[in-house]
Amino acid sequence: MVIYRSEQALASEVARACCIAICTHYTLTTQNSYPLALKERAVEMVPRRGPAGVPGTPPHGLAMLRYPIPTMTQAMPSLGRFMAALIIAGGGVMTAEAQDPYASARNRMAEEIAILARETRSETGRAAFSERVMAAMRRVPRHEFVTARERASAYENRPLPIGHGQTISQPFIVALMTDVLEVKPSDRVLEIGTGSGYQAALLAELAGAVYTVEIVEPLARFAKERLARYPNVAVRHGDGFLGWPEHAPYDAIMVTAAPREVPQPLLDQLKAGGRLVVPVGGQFAGQSLLVVEKLLDGRAVRRTVLAVRFVPLTDPAGRQR
């Protein structure tokens, strides 16, 4: 179990307080701060008696307690076991933190996302994202999908450059797009715009199969390496505007770059009853995040979720689609 920073700090303070109390207690005992006779008595409750032998009320409603205070020789075995337990527990916390030093940062990132979800509920219609999505956000190591230069900023809630004029999206937007896609464990998902692979990794945590297309060849290679741990992800270098028809139809499609309009090839590859999430708009004009649902009769119904800003979805020549 991973103990996050706030819990770790609490555990450390409790352990320190216990150690101080125990050491102080036994130091006083060995210095004969208590009468020897008291040390040797058995534990017993002594109620104060009132007149004529009627039990009275101890001060502040408490019973008076006589108890033995052990000598240091008597106390050492128990003290040793207690200190050993503290060391083992502390070592477990340190080991967990050492194994995943970014766990606390991911947890804080998830908390920021939850706050933003509440603040944007009037626009998105969602006061909170699903626990499946939030659990994936806490699991996937974003720092492995950014450049070494940006690693220290990996869990800040902002987009980061990944080279070749591309970015990894703001974590809140990633969580929002993933949530509105409403991926189920059995779904086949198409992603357009792999980038460094972070969004595909999140989708892999939620879906049965993920097919992702990236037009920038060095990024496609980088993402393929990073996504090797996910057996349910396939990466392809190609023109995302055209989709990946060999594996169609898809239950859900996500586009992580902005075309001018919803690409018709992607609508054609979307299963009836499926859902497509895409930012739409010009490179220098306003963009809107859309959710497009394909009805059983083939018609597409769209709704706007939020005003956004994405890099453009381009053709091989670098022009916006």
Active site members: 169
Residue 4 DSSP code: P
Distances (CA, A) of 119 to 134, 214, 308: 17, 33, 16
Strand, helix or coil for residue 125: coil
- Measured between alpha carbons, how far is 173 from 151 in angstroms, rounded to an integer? 19
Inter-helix orientation angle 131-139/171-181, to 10°:
140
Residue tagged 């940062």 (tokens): 105
Alpha-helical runs (H) found in 52-187? 72-99, 103-119, 121-124, 131-139, 171-181
Cβ atoms of 243 and 186 closer than 8 Å: no
What value does the CA radius of gyration of the chain take, rounded to a whole number of Å? 30
Distances (CA, A) of 251 to 128, 189, 233, 314: 23, 6, 15, 24
- Measured between alpha carbons, how far is 207 from 108 in angstroms, rounded to an integer? 25
Phi/psi of residue 62, nearest 5 degrees: -110, 145
- Measured between alpha carbons, how far is 58 from 27 in angstroms, rounded to an integer? 29
Cβ atoms of 262 and 238 closer than 8 Å: no
